[in-house]
Structure 1
């Protein structure tokens, strides 16, 4: 069987979500987190979490992408148990058995999304249409012979440092170093 694990190809999740999932956590779509919220009024990082985040089970952080991985029955049971504990501790499930049933359904749904070759990446897009939440999932596969690419490169900038600017036009018109 296959399950979903969080993956971080660049540091963007740490910028766009209130809490970013750590790479390698078991993951589920996690739309249930928003059931009792008015999602049309969400702003900023919470809105981004709703629109494009999978839920990491250990941290309850969000991940833009998840990776399809091969899993054992023990892995599935561990993911269900981890989510069940979170449902009791953080979401007010009435008891562990009720939480396990709900967690089992959520992990089964995640497993159904993982019906792809291992290493396939999956992204989610949530929206509200006619008052109902819609989820769309898309797959991203590696091209034959290529490793997983970095989607974006970010440079962390210390706010105390002066902003660095590069004049590309001037560089293009200047003679190359070492040329005569």
Structure 2
């Protein structure tokens, strides 16, 4: 099974989101957070979170890019519990058991999105408010297309050491 983890290429997320997700935490689309929003809610950093932020499952912060990766069943089960607890504490779900079904749905949607992509594929999300609610679209950036080598440290390994 695959999900996606938060990834940062620079510190821009710390400037554009109220609460940036932590690098490496598991993420969801998190569009449910905006289900009751209107245009009036879309200002400043809240607008940025709405427009293109994935939701971290530990900090419940936002991130611009996620990378597809494999997840162990035990990690997945822990995420279900964490998300269900969030739905009870923040959204007023009547019980952990009731919230668990919604958490499973959210994680299954993300797993379906990630399943068709190779590990290290980058994903972005774009949201728009429409008359029928929030519309999400996803952009896929294949690992080779992302030019990940530009973030690697380059150096020659075959150089002779300096002689004195």
What TM-score do you get using the length of structure 1 for normalisation? 0.78
Aligned residues: 148
TM-superposed deviation, 1:36: 2.0
What's 2:104 paired with?
Answer: 104
What's 1:15 paired with?
Answer: 15
C-alpha distance in structure 2 between counterparts of 1:122 and 1:36, whole Å? 25
TM-superposed deviation, 1:94: 1.0
Change (3 A) 1:148 1:119: farther
What's 2:143 paired with?
Answer: 142
CA contact (8 A) 1:142 1:148 kept: no
User: Over aligned residues, Cα RMSD in angstroms?
Assistant: 1.5
TM-superposed deviation, 1:86: 1.1
What's 1:128 paired with?
Answer: 129
1:119 aligns with 2:134: no
TM-superposed deviation, 1:142: 2.0
Structure with the higher fraction of residues in helix conformation: 2
C-alpha distance in structure 1 between counterparts of 2:67 and 2:92, whole Å? 29
> Which protein is bigger by CA-based radius of gyration?
1
1:29 aligns with 2:29: yes
C-alpha distance in structure 1 between counterparts of 2:141 and 2:59, whole Å? 24
* Aligned-partner SS, 1:67: strand
Structure 1 residue runs of 4+, over 2 Å off?
A: 129-132, 146-150
CA contact (8 A) 2:57 2:83 kept: yes
